[in-house]
């Protein structure tokens, strides 16, 4: 029987300790393999970005932006967009603010997004849901803040056997800062079902990285 992803019980201090393992500039000084992984992930996201129409200024939120490498690349494509990066790790947001002053950043919880209902055109959430306490609540918050005709791009690892092997090796070496960082163990089927259960319709599903990653283009059911 397929297991379900549910809320985990963990103290706020424990979460902060996990986040503090990762230096704010971690992605900026990543090794070649890490850069290849994230550049390929960025390409998948870029392909799914909406087209800018006229003078309409798209309101975009990148949830779990960390040091905002991806957020900045999105801002280059959506030049007229109002881009906001959000993360609960203050150290990463402070670093992002100093490096990308043209982007708006906010320290906030993905379970309680500081935006009005039906106010955003696009939400991006990459490699983040496995790190939050309650992924379903975070997804429901995305549905709440998105406009009726808006979209979300949700991406993470697929949970394939190959990914598990590489992740195990990675966290024993260069990626040891990520030990205990995954609060949930997802796979592609679990993520797809959770997305549907949270109030989204899936428009497109893309597997990449030798099947180790999956990206969804989704829209609110409302």
Asked if pLDDT for residue 31 goes beyond 80, the answer is no
pLDDT tens across 58-74, in order? 999 999 999 999 999 99
- So what's the pLDDT on residue 51? 86
Asked if pLDDT for residue 1 goes beyond 50, the answer is no
Asked if pLDDT for residue 3 goes beyond 70, the answer is no
Percent of the chain with pLDDT over 70: 98
Q: Which domains, from first to last, does the chain contain?
A: 12-47+56-220 (3.40.50.150)
Burial of 109 per CB tally in 10 Å (0-12, 13-18, 19+): middle
- So what's the pLDDT on residue 193? 96
pLDDT tens across 98-127, in order? 999 999 999 999 999 999 999 999 999 999
Percent of the chain with pLDDT over 90: 75
Q: How far is CA 191 from CA 96, 127, 152, in A?
A: 28, 12, 14
| C-alpha closest to that of 30 among 87, 79, 85, 70 | 70
Angle between helices 90-99 and 12-20 (to 10 degrees): 40
- So what's the pLDDT on residue 74? 96
pLDDT tens across 14-28, in order? 988 888 898 998 888
pLDDT tens across 158-173, in order? 999 999 999 999 899 8
Q: Which of 27-36, 72-81, 164-173 has the highest mean pLDDT?
A: 72-81
> Mean pLDDT across the chain, nearest whole number?
93
Q: Are 77 and 58 spatial neighbours (Cβ–Cβ below 8 Å)?
A: no
- DSSP β-bridge partners for residue 82: 59
Q: How far is CA 213 from CA 5, 11, 39, 102, 158, in A?
A: 18, 29, 13, 30, 5
Q: Are 86 and 60 spatial neighbours (Cβ–Cβ below 8 Å)?
A: no
Asked if pLDDT for residue 30 goes beyond 80, the answer is no
């Amino acid at each position: 029987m397929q297991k379900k992803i549910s809320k985990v019980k963990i103290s706020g201090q424990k979460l902060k300790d996990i986040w503090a393992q990762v230096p704010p500039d971690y992605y900026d000084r990543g090794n070649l393999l890490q850069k290849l992984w994230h550049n390929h992930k960025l390409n998948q996201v870029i392909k799914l970005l909406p087209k800018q129409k006229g003078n309409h200024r798209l309101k975009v939120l990148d949830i779990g932006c960390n040091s905002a490498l991806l957020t900045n690349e999105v801002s280059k494509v959506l030049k007229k967009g109002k881009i906001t990066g959000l993360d609960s790790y203050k150290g990463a947001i402070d670093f992002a603010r100093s490096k990308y002053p043209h982007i708006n950043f906010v320290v906030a919880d993905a379970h309680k997004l500081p935006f009005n209902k039906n106010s955003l055109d696009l939400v991006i959430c990459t490699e983040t849901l496995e790190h939050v306490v309650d992924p379903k609540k975070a997804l429901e918050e995305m549905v709440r803040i998105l406009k009726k005709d808006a979209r979300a791009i949700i991406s993470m690892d697929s949970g394939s056997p190959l990914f598990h092997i590489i992740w195990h090796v990675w966290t024993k070496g260069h990626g040891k800062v990520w030990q205990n960082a995954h609060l949930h163990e997802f796979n592609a089927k679990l993520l797809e079902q959770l997305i549907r259960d949270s109030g989204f319709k899936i428009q497109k599903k893309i597997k990449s990285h030798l099947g180790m990653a999956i990206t969804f283009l989704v829209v609110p059911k409302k």
